[in-house]
């Protein structure tokens, strides 16, 4: 806490002459997308069905605008335009994901799709020709439906199947791809998908915790495959990308501060402690709270599946850097008496009985959950260093949503500028933040929000077959920022 007074002075000075804020030479800028959200071509060639294909076709009413991702940005065909946009922006890297069912139509590694393989080869080679580094997410929520039918991440065999898939990916592309993200935002894929989306959701968290454990084992096995079989010749890096909502106490009372810290362990620690902490395994506050709640609810055992010592060792330390997706902040408090609780991710932590809410003074983007609180990213980063030491941090997602057609997106520019200013302060404080990824390069299929929320630097016209991409004002701003390397 000693740095606080000095920091406040620095921050106020920096505001008055913001244009002097220079990024270090090693700091890298990129933008991101994900296969399911942009590719379309959902049933082309031998591509298998993914769990979101099935979900949306079966329950179109779940998507706010009733749309689907069958065509999306049509990037399966328009990949050359995507590379051109990355080059127009001057990106140093482009983060995209590989669709598991496109590359392995059955999910299993014994049948590799020729068309799937070639698609990602073209994308990777095209980026490299423009001098843009590919950062590749191996799994961004498109579980093969055949595995989902067997429980998906809730099935203990999934960690072996995922490791086999990862081996295929490394062996096809590892000569050119040096930065791998095994799994994107397991918090959302487990807690949201198993806790809220699946029709068979339980009264209390069971599926999300089974998913949580197996997703960590899956990441760890995929990490070890790289470490043992590919790192010696390819010398790349592997991590997993976590979704971090910064959580602040509602008041300065000891009770609220303890509750906020426990909530951080529930929302973040549950997916990071096993990998990044010295001791590994579940955060103890999570273990205790779930055991207590399970007992009160009359369950025989805790709903949180324990790790064996062997599993703890397998998962611990399976990272080369910390990949952080961050958009927003919440205040944490106990429910008020007779308060009606909305049970959803980002509003309530079930086993802690903690309410998460936005400060009414924070502006909100088009998407309801994206309250803007730029200091949150710096506070979040400081917490990571305090928890896990001086690990390299790559910001793998950060972005702002607007609604409707809108090329003059000053709010997006302010968001990026204000968050990056806080990132610079983090670097000033000695945290090793080595890059920033804007989510997203272009408007795309935003899951249950369909095409309503627009996070893109490029606007996409979804009403025409050409899926025309047009740069917004923020695209020009970002290109300038990358060129000048200062705010």
Ligand X SMILES: *[C@@H]1O[C@H](CO)[C@@H](O)[C@H](O)[C@H]1NC(C)=O
Of 252 and 338, nearer to ligand X (C-beta) is 252
Q: Does residue number 392 form part of the binding site for ligand X (CB under 6 A)?
A: yes
Q: Does residue number 253 form part of the binding site for ligand X (CB under 6 A)?
A: no
Q: How far is the CB of 390 from ligand X (least distance, A)?
A: 6
| Residues 413-442 interacting with ligand X (rule: CB under 6 A) | 432, 434
Among positions 22, 111, 284, 480, the unique one binding ligand X when judged by CB under 6 A: 111
Q: Does residue number 254 form part of the binding site for ligand X (CB under 6 A)?
A: no
Q: Does residue number 46 form part of the binding site for ligand X (CB under 6 A)?
A: yes
HEC string of the chain? CCCHHHHHHHHHHHHHCHHHCECCCCCEEEEECCHHHHCCCCCCCCCCCEHHHHHHHHCHHHCCCCCCCCCCCCHHHHHHHHHHHHHHHCCCEEEEECCHHHHCCCCCCCCCCHHHHHHHHHHHHHHHHCCCEEEEEEECCCCEHHHHCCCHHHCCCHHHHHHHHHHHHHHHHCCCCCEEEEEECHHHHHHHHHHHHCCCCCCCCCHHHHHHHHHHHHHHHHHHHHHHHHHHHHCCEEEEEEECCEEEECCCCHHHHHHHHHHHHHHHHHHHHHHHCCCCCCCHHHHHHHHHHHHHCCCCCCCCCCCCHHHHHHHCCCCCCEEEECCCEEEEECCCCCCCCCCCCCCEEHHHCEEEECCCCCCECCCCCCECCCHHHHHHHHHHHHHHCCCCEEEEECCCCEECCCCCCHHHHHHHHHHHHHHHHHHHCCCCEEEEEEECCECCCCHHHCCCEECCCEEECCCCCCCCEEECHHHHHHHHHHHHCEC
Q: How far is the CB of 447 from ligand X (least distance, A)?
A: 18
Q: How far is the CB of 110 from ligand X (least distance, A)?
A: 7
Q: How far is the CB of 149 from ligand X (least distance, A)?
A: 16
Q: How far is the CB of 391 from ligand X (least distance, A)?
A: 8
Of 116 and 283, nearer to ligand X (C-beta) is 116
Residue 61 appears among annotated catalytic residues: no
Of 57 and 295, nearer to ligand X (C-beta) is 57
| Residues 56-75 interacting with ligand X (rule: CB under 6 A) | 70
| Residues 439-478 interacting with ligand X (rule: CB under 6 A) | none
Of 249 and 399, nearer to ligand X (C-beta) is 249
Q: Which one is catalytic: 39, 185, 421, 459?
A: 185
N- to C-terminal Cα separation, the chain: 27
Residue 255 appears among annotated catalytic residues: no
Q: How far is the CB of 75 from ligand X (least distance, A)?
A: 15
Q: Which one is catalytic: 311, 350, 397, 459?
A: 397
Among positions 22, 118, 121, 251, the unique one binding ligand X when judged by CB under 6 A: 251
Using CB under 6 A as the binding criterion, the count of chain residues that bind ligand X stands at 11
Q: Does residue number 405 form part of the binding site for ligand X (CB under 6 A)?
A: no
Q: How far is the CB of 27 from ligand X (least distance, A)?
A: 10
CB neighbours of 128 closer than 8 A, spacing ≥ 6?
134, 176
Please give the structure tokens belonging to residue 286. Answer: 């999570």
Of 26 and 233, nearer to ligand X (C-beta) is 26
Q: Per-residue x/- mask for ligand X, residues 126 to 165, rule CB under 6 A?
A: ----------------------------------------
Q: How far is the CB of 173 from ligand X (least distance, A)?
A: 20
Q: Does residue number 252 form part of the binding site for ligand X (CB under 6 A)?
A: yes
| Residues 171-210 interacting with ligand X (rule: CB under 6 A) | none
Q: Does residue number 284 form part of the binding site for ligand X (CB under 6 A)?
A: no
Among positions 22, 43, 118, 121, the unique one binding ligand X when judged by CB under 6 A: 43
Q: Does residue number 105 form part of the binding site for ligand X (CB under 6 A)?
A: yes
Of 360 and 404, nearer to ligand X (C-beta) is 360
Query: Measuring CA to CA, how many Å separate 9 from each of 3, 5, 6, 19, 149?
Result: 10, 7, 5, 17, 56
In the complex, the residues that contact ligand X under the rule CB under 6 A are 43, 46, 70, 105, 111, 251-252, 390, 392, 432, 434
Catalytic residue positions, numbered: 185, 397
């Amino acid at each position: 806490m000693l740095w606080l007074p000095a920091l406040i002075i620095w921050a106020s000075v920096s505001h008055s002459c913001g244009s002097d804020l220079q990024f270090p030479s090693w700091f890298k800028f990129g933008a991101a997308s994900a296969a399911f959200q942009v590719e379309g071509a959902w049933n082309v060639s031998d591509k298998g069905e993914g769990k979101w294909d099935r979900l949306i076709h079966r329950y179109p009413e779940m998507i706010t605008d009733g749309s689907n991702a069958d065509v999306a940005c049509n990037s399966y065909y328009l990949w050359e335009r995507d590379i051109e946009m990355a080059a127009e922006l001057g990106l140093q890297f482009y983060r995209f994901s590989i669709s598991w069912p496109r590359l392995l139509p059955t999910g299993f590694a014994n049948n590799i799709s020729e068309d799937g393989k070639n698609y990602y080869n073209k994308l990777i080679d095209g980026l490299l020709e423009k001098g843009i580094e590919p950062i590749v997410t191996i799994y961004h929520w498109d579980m093969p439906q055949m595995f989902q039918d067997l429980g998906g991440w809730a099935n203990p065999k999934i960690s072996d199947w995922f490791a086999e898939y990862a081996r295929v990916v490394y062996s096809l592309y590892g000569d050119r791809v040096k930065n791998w993200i095994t799994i994107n935002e397991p918090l959302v894929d487990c807690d949201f998908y198993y806790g809220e989306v699946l029709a068979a959701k339980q009264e209390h968290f069971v599926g999300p915790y089974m998913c949580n454990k197996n997703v960590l084992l899956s990441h760890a096995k995929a990490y070890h495959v790289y470490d043992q079989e590919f790192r010696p010749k390819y010398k790349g890096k592997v991590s997993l990308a976590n979704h971090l909502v910064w959580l602040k106490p509602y008041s300065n009372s000891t009770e609220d501060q303890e509750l906020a810290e426990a909530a951080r362990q529930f929302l973040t620690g549950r997916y990071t402690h096993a990998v990044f902490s010295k001791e590994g395994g579940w955060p103890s506050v999570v273990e205790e709270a779930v055991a207590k709640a399970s007992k009160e609810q009359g369950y025989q055992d805790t709903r949180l599946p324990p790790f064996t010592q062997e599993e703890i060792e397998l998962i611990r330390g399976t990272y080369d850097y910390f990949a952080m997706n961050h958009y927003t902040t919440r205040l944490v408090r106990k429910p008020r008496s007779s308060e009606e609780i909305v049970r959803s991710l980002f509003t309530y932590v079930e086993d802690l009985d903690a309410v998460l809410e936005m400060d009414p003074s924070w502006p909100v983007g088009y998407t309801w959950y994206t309250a803007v609180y730029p200091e949150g990213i710096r506070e979040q980063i400081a917490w990571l260093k305090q928890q896990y030491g001086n690990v390299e941090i790559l910001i793998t997602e950060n972005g702002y949503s607007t609604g409707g057609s809108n090329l003059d997106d000053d709010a997006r520019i302010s968001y990026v500028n204000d968050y990056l200013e806080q990132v610079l302060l983090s670097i000033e404080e000695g945290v090793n933040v080595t890059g920033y990824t804007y989510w997203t390069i272009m408007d795309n299929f935003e899951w249950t929000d369909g095409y309503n929320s627009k996070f893109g630097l490029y606007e996409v016209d979804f009403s025409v077959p050409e899926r025309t991409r047009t740069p917004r004002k923020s695209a020009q701003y970002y290109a300038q920022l990358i060129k000048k390397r200062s705010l």
